[in-house]
A = this chain, B = another copy of it.
Amino acid sequence: MSNRAPVLIAGKWQESTGSKQFTATNPGTLESLSPAYPISDWSECDRALSAAYDAFQQMRNVSANTIADFLDAFAQQIDSSNAELTEIAHAETALPAKPRLSEVELPRTSGQLRQAATAARSGSWAMPTIDSKANIRSCYEGIGPVAVFGPNNFPFAFGSVSGGDFAAAIAAGNPVIGKANTSHPGTTRKFAELALHAVQEVGLPAATVQLIYRLDHQDGAKLVSDHRIAAIGYTGSRRAGLALKTAADAAGKPIYLELSSVNPVVMMPGALEERGADLVTEFVGSVLMGSGQFCTNPGLIVAIESSATESFIAGVASKFQEAASGTLLSPAVQTSLTAAIETLTKAGAKLLCGGQSVPGRCSVSNTLLRVTGFQFIADPETFQTEAFGNASLVVVAKNLGEAAKVLASLEGNLTGCIYSARNGSDDADYGRLADILGQRVGRLLNDKMPTGVAVSSAMNHGGPYPATGHPGFTAVGIPASMLRFGKLTCYDNVRSQRLPALLRDKNPTGKTWRLVDLNWTTDDLATS
């Protein structure tokens, strides 16, 4: 047991009280990695919950500037530990050390934390709203302790103690209990070490950041519905996410989910006619990047019967076969990808290439499948099975009307793209398809693959159920993502010296945007 990694509870790294354990696997070699990581028992969760609850009581009286200082200090720690983080994550995920982990995902992660720091300092995220005549004032405040369940595919940028949910929850004033993704526990542990240093450096409550690695399903349900937890951020598989949702919902806890999404891409006839070869390159680049293990990976292409469509499909299949297949994140991802391909082919999809397991590592050959629009419409649920990884399904519709029906049969997705001709030849039909697709996705793109998710104030990384649990929230983009972890509080006739700084007559920073009598302003309130 002494070789097991410790958990981080109440500011102390300590031996877990859980009797069970697990190890991660190097997906590039299939070797078990050491050390072992504990599966926490309920008593450990209980201690973490109490510590988080107490930490929140203290954080309510900590200035936003101190929280921002923590985020900046943590970002700095991450930048300084680039080499070590990259090495651990590469071993646990097989994601390329460079450029992916070291040069793309790590700077994105520290940059996101710095954006969160800026947002916390400005206070504008809280949407301070003042009705000066009635003396009613409201703003968002921290909601309380947040549990974050991170996904397997972004060990840094979506990590449970380093990623977007973490940054948003902390910046809104809440302590976080991180549940590591079990495919990269060592990476998450390293982030928690750095976070604890930063917590100590700025003097936040010791339990602001806590870390456990794994829980029995029953304890997971108990955790998210516990009275000391205020909200949950979850990114991962649909099945596990929906089980947590059921528990959280029953207890009245907001749970923000990011589940599966096939991210439909419509290739309109004019676009394929005009620049089919370019679109092959663009699509293949997007779908094979990171072995297709993006939440926004384009897993479904919709096109209309034509020779240009046939050329596009042949071009993609050819490039898929030429390209080496990447390594998947874990044996579980490989198993699930293989199962999804089998589900699709059993339902009648034609396997154009790929579908083979590659020996010696977690890998499946680049996979392209094909169905007709008629087939898709007859069984949309099955044909929307997410094949998470380097696989896509092409739907060839007979005509525009059938393509519209395919889109109308889609469930909620994170993204939807439409490629149309530059010469205007698709313009007459664009609106019909966009209207249908737009209702079913959180982000609608033109002439652009969905795999880039910019950390932008205008980003929506969200979408209708079952892509997420609520179509009004985004998991990426600051400050909007912070609202998920805010509680709206109204102060009605509250004496001025008792108001939060954000709601007093004087603008606390001189730069905080506030909605005063229905106008956004950074001015102080006029004193009457």
A residues near B (Cβ < 8 Å) are 57, 60-61, 124, 129-131, 134, 136-138, 140, 143-144, 245-246, 249-254, 412, 415, 430-431, 434-435, 438-439, 441-448, 450, 454, 456-460, 462, 464-466, 469-474, 480, 483-484, 486-495, 498, 513, 515, 517-521
Contact = CB atoms under 8 A, between A and B. Distances in A.
Which of A251, A460, A519 has its CB near the most chain B CB atoms (within 10 A)? A460
Contacts of A490: 442-444, 458-460, 474
Given A457-B515, A472-B254, A444 B136 contact: no
B460 A138 contact: yes
Contacts of A245: 249
B458 A493 contact: no
Contact of A471 (B251, B456, B487, B518): B487
Contact of A134 (B458, B464, B473, B518): B458
A472 B487 contact: yes
A457 B487 contact: no
A445 B137 CA distance: 11
B442 A252 contact: no
A463 to B, nearest CB: 9
Nearest to A254: B470
Contacts of A250: 246, 249
Contacts of A441: 489
Contacts of A518: 124, 457
Nearest to A417: B492
A383 to B, nearest CB: 18
A427 to B, nearest CB: 9
A465 B518 CA distance: 28
B488 A442 contact: yes
Contact of A488 (B57, B431, B472): B472
A471 B520 contact: no
Contacts of A60: 435, 439
Given A129-B480, A488-B471, A138 B459 contact: yes
Contacts of A136: 454, 456, 458-459
A251 to B, nearest CB: 8
Nearest to A450: B492
A491 B454 contact: no
Contacts of A438: 489
Contacts of A515: 457
Contacts of A460: 138, 488-490
A246 B252 CA distance: 10
Q: Which 6 A-B pairs have the closest CB atoms?
A: A252-B465, A520-B520, A460-B490, A249-B249, A443-B490, A131-B458
Contacts of A252: 412, 465-466, 469
Given A134-B458, A446-B493, 15 more contacts: A57-B435, A61-B435, A131-B458, A246-B249, A249-B249, A430-B498, A441-B489, A443-B492, A445-B492, A457-B518, A458-B490, A471-B487, A472-B486, A474-B490, A520-B521
Nearest to A435: B60
A493 B448 contact: yes
Nearest to A487: B471
A452 B137 CA distance: 15
Contacts of A470: 254
A513 B521 CA distance: 10
18 contacts: A61-B435, A124-B518, A129-B457, A129-B458, A130-B458, A131-B459, A143-B471, A252-B469, A253-B465, A254-B472, A431-B498, A442-B488, A443-B490, A444-B490, A447-B493, A448-B492, A472-B487, A473-B488
Contacts of A483: 472
A489 B430 CA distance: 17
Nearest to A521: B520
Nearest to A471: B487
A254 B458 contact: no
